[in-house]
Amino acid sequence: GNSVTQMEGPVTLSEEAFLTINCTYTATGYPSLFWYVQYPGEGLQLLLKATKADDKGSNKGFEATYRKETTSFHLEKGSVQVSDSAVYFCALSEGGYNKLIFGAGTRLAVHP
Amino acid sequence: ETGVTQTPRHLVMGMTNKKSLKCEQHLGHNAMYWYKQSAKKPLELMFVYSLEERVENNSVPSRFSPECPNSSHLFLHLHTLQPEDSALYLCASSQLRGSPLHFGNGTRLTVT
C-alpha cells in the first residue's frame, strides 16, 4: 500500500540555520503531496502542497519540490526562526475522497 | 478561527462512561474525517464520510461509533473505552479529489 517515510527527529537548529526535513513516499498512481505543521496544543495546518511532478510548493519561506524520479518531497527553509519550532508532517493523498496518508512527523526545535 | 471547531478540547472519562466528541465545519466542505494521534505513532485515519455517507472504516473497534447527520457536523460516540484509547482525536474536512484537509484543534482524551 501507499506509505510516507520521514526522517526521525528531533531536529535541533540555531536561529537562521538552513533546514531540510527529508520525506520519501511509495504510491501507485500520481498522488498529491503535502506538508502540514502542528504547533503545540493545536491541530495540523497545511503548510504547502504540490499536485504533480516537478511542482514546487512554497509558503512562509518553506519550499518542497515533487520529485517523481526519486519519490521525494523534502522540506527546506533557508533561515529558520524560533517560531518555526513545531512538528512537521509529510503526507500524500489517495482516493477520490482525498484520504491522507501521513508520515510519523519530525519535531523541529529552533534555539535563539 | 480554523473553520473546523472541535468540542470539548479536553475530556477525561472512566472506562464505563459514554461520551461524544463533536466536530463542526464552516467551510462548505463535503468530506469529513476522524484521525487519532497517539504519542510516538503516525496519525491513524479512523473514519471518512463523503457526502454524509461513511466511505471508510479502518478496522476501528466498535467502541468508537461515528455519526454524520449532515455535511457540517461529525460526531464520535465513545463507550467502554480502554486506557490505550487515550490520545488526541482530530477532526478534518475537505472538498473531494486532492484538496487539502483542514483540521480542528483536536480533543485530548484521557481514559482512566
- Residues of chain B found within 8 Å of residue A93, distances taken between Cβ atoms: 98
Between strands B10-13 and B107-111, the pairing is parallel
A-B Cβ pairs (cutoff 8 Å, strict): 59
Q: What region does A78 belong to: left with phi over 0, alpha with psi -120 to 50, or beta? A: alpha
Radius of gyration of the CA atoms of chain B, in A? 13
A2 near B CB under 8 A: no
Number of Cα atoms under 13 Å in the Cβ half of residue B64: 19
Rounded mean pLDDT of A17-22? 97
CA distance A97 to chain B (A): 5
From the list A89, A99, A105, the residue facing B48 with the nearest CB is: A99
Please answer yes or no on whether A99 and B56 come within 8 Å at the CB atom: yes
pLDDT digit string (tens) for chain B, length 112 residues: 559 999 999 999 998 889 999 999 999 998 999 999 998 788 999 999 988 788 777 789 999 999 999 999 999 999 999 999 999 999 999 987 667 899 999 999 999 9
- Residue B14 grid cell: 472512566
**Residues of chain A above pLDDT 90, percent:** 78
